[in-house]
Amino acid sequence: MLPESPGASATPTRKRKRDCSVVESPSKSSTPRKRKSFSNYSFSESPSKSSTPRKRKSFSNYSFSKSRRQFTTDESLEINTFFERRTSSRKTQSVVEKEKENDLIEAILSHREDGLEVAEIENKGRGVIATKQFVHGEFIVEYVGDLITWKEAKKREVKYASDTNVGCYMYYFNSKAKRFCIDATNESSSFGRLFNHSRRKPNCRTRVVWIGGKSGEQPHLAIIAKRDIKKEEEMLFDYGDRERDAIKENPWLKD
């Protein structure tokens, strides 16, 4: 009897078998998986393949020409008005100012003198009152007279001073580094020369406007509303005369 080898066992030891059972994947399952039912849903073909054409919006009230919408209903008037308002509201400040300047020049060249009337003013003599309302910044009238140099104005002033029956209607001003005077002493139908003075409560002011012509640019003296002016108000502006002798002879220049 051969001796048992140390590495061998008479009775073989049974190794524990690992649980190596394989679970089949769902795709290979013998029992099919329960799928979600789509019985509660309905499917329709895409619009391009639909047998029933889609209902399109009717444009029977409009006409089209070269891909541009042309309105044939009453809404065309409303839309045109809308775009006109949009266009006017988009004007830049420079454009608005340019239009105002053009209107002012046109008013001067056309000798506009609307809404004025000569009246007798207590303690003043003749004056001018408004027969309509004027808004702030509105052109009223031009101060019309002879445009002369400063030197010539001083000569005329001496001449007028020698005659007590002649009033002084001379307006001195500076513009573009030059001195000018508008002499409105000669009687005329212009309202501007009859505007009375007010140093403390003027409702008008003067503005120099240069306008070109055949003889080149010349200054014009426009009278503008300094504030809103009501009907029946007297038109007043500051003459700007601060000379002591003139104030002494004409105390009303202090008012």
H/E/C letters for each residue in 145-185?
Answer: CEEEEHHHHHHHHHHHHCCCCCCCCEEEEEECCEEEEEECC
Given this model, what pLDDT does residue 173 score? 92
Higher pLDDT, 16 or 150: 150
Question: Of 171, 158, 178, 147, nearest to 240 (Cα)?
Answer: 171
236 CB burial (10 A radius; 0-12, 13-18, 19+):
buried
Say how many CA atoms lie within 13 Å of 92 toward its Cβ. Answer: 3
Q: Residue 2: pLDDT above 50?
A: no
Q: Which helix (H) or strand (E) holds 204?
A: strand 204-211
pLDDT band for position 216 (cuts 50, 70, 90)? confident
Evaluate if residue 23 carries a pLDDT over 50.
Answer: no
Task: Answer for the pair 156, 148: CB distance below 8 angstroms, yes or no.
Answer: yes
Mean pLDDT lowest among 25-34, 86-95, 145-154: 25-34
Q: Which domains are delineated in the chain?
A: 29-86 (no CATH), 93-254 (2.170.270.10)
Q: What type of residue sits at position 129?
A: I
Q: What is the pTM of this model?
A: 0.60
Identity at 52, one-letter amino acid code: T
**Given this model, what pLDDT does residue 239 score?**
83
pLDDT tens for residues 114-167?
A: 999 999 998 888 999 999 999 999 999 999 999 999 999 999 988 888 887 777
Q: What is the pLDDT of residue 20?
A: 41
